[in-house]
Amino acid sequence: MLSNLAARDVETLIHPYTNLASFRETGPLILERGEGVWVHDSEGRPYIEGMAGLWCTALGYSNRELIEAAVEQFHKLPFTHLFSGRSHDPAIDLAEKLKEIAPVPMSKVFFTASGSEANDTQVKLVWYVNNALGRPRKKKIVSRLKGYHGVTVAAASLTGLPANHTDFDLPIANILHASCPHHYRFAQAGESEEEFSTRMAAELDELIEKEGPDTVAAFIAEPIMGAGGALIPPAGYFPKMQEVCDRHDVIFIADEVITGFGRLGTMWGSQALGIRPDSISFAKAVTSAYLPLGGVMVNEAIYQALLDESRKIGIFGHGYTYSGHPVSCAVALKAIEIYERDRLVEKVRAKAPLFEERLAALREHPLVGEAKGMGLVGGLEIVADKASKRQYEVKKGVAVKCVGFAQAEGLIVRSLAGDRISICPPLIITEEEIGLLFDRLARALDRTAEWVRQEGLLAA
């Protein structure tokens, strides 16, 4: 029997990434308050928020400085926009700060309200720029299988996950998908990570040559694949992919929506993984998710092309009502101030070895095939047979069951495609809380193993 609040939810809301049919029976987990890395449900039960919400609440919950920054800006100027040459201090200050901390020199910043909008904007900018450069055929954008770039029409097309395409009539034209760089799942027998990376780069080169270098405009990649499975790239992967892009005059877009602002122990994932992006998408931790904000940073060459085409047409015809919302920008400025003042990037580097060690130890569990992380993000893969890497049938929902057991243990994690489980706690998590997180996850895996035995899935 659902509670009154849960029943009202079921009858009023459509929940993202949810089985809408089974949800009518199970109902929601209703959260009421949060403090630090902890959230509490409507019954008062505490949980470690092991996913920082959706990879985003980097500074944890109820940070007074972020709240006060929002309130102060609400009192001063709660809204204006950037259309038709208007502006305001928070947007200017934030754009300057983002350029200052960018992993490579960037020329200009365009603000959005989300990562999906940022990546939709990336697609439009790529097409606009190549029209400006007199290259009307150079429009194809290469993403990757299992990559995740959002759910708006163009961003969902970039996303390489079947659930985001099926019956939405996606992907749209001019979107291609290269191979997924998951060494554990897709490497050939005896193939080292470096060798696998070399093959991935050769496949990208072959794809571009097959399509025609004069038709391929950009390559977009997350430094670490998030919703596709919390997948850590193999050794040497990005420098090899970058060389192919450079050789074919292909714009390299780094989707830093998850990895920006300290997640990997560097301010940007690009710095940790040897990426030299021409354009960057950001969102999520830029405000620690306290208010919606995203954006795109572009280099000088891209900006000059935008400038030339705008001069020719008479306008740059793109923008959102909430581009550079003053309250969101004020909160972002405060968040970045906290990241720098409290040396959170350095603290992530200090805590990362414990996080990675505790995660790697789960490989000894009979259900776990791979467990790998970087910084304060990681994923594990549940398998039916460790030697062959054989997976359970998707419809059995083993990872989903494990996430349910974790919730019963007081831990929120997330199940992803291919029986993967992701972990991405707030950056402020303490070493003691890291220990609690993995203790609870280990117990959830034990309970899952017992459920698998009871259900007779071991021989399936």
106-128 residue pLDDT tens: 999 999 999 999 999 999 999 99
Q: Name residues whose C-beta falls within 8 Å of residue 127's C-beta, 6 or more positions apart in sequence.
A: 139, 174, 217
Class of domain 4-62+344-454: alpha beta
Residues carrying CATH 3.40.640.10, the chain? 66-341
pLDDT tens-digit map of 295-340: 999 999 999 999 999 999 999 999 999 999 999 999 999 999 999 9
pLDDT at 2: 81
Is the bond preceding residue 171 a cis peptide, omega within 30 degrees? Answer: yes
pLDDT given at position 268: 98
Tell me which of 2.30.40.10, 3.40.50.720, 3.40.640.10, 3.30.365.10 is the CATH number of domain 66-341. 3.40.640.10
From CA 242, how far away is CA 224, in angstroms rounded? 15
Instruction: In the chain, list all ranges with CATH 3.90.1150.10.
Output: 4-62+344-454
Residue-level pLDDT at 459? 56
Q: Tell the residue number behind the tokens 């001069």, with chain if given.
A: 311
pLDDT at 447: 98
- The pLDDT of residue 3 is 87
pLDDT at 379: 97
Residues with pLDDT less than 70, the chain:
459-460
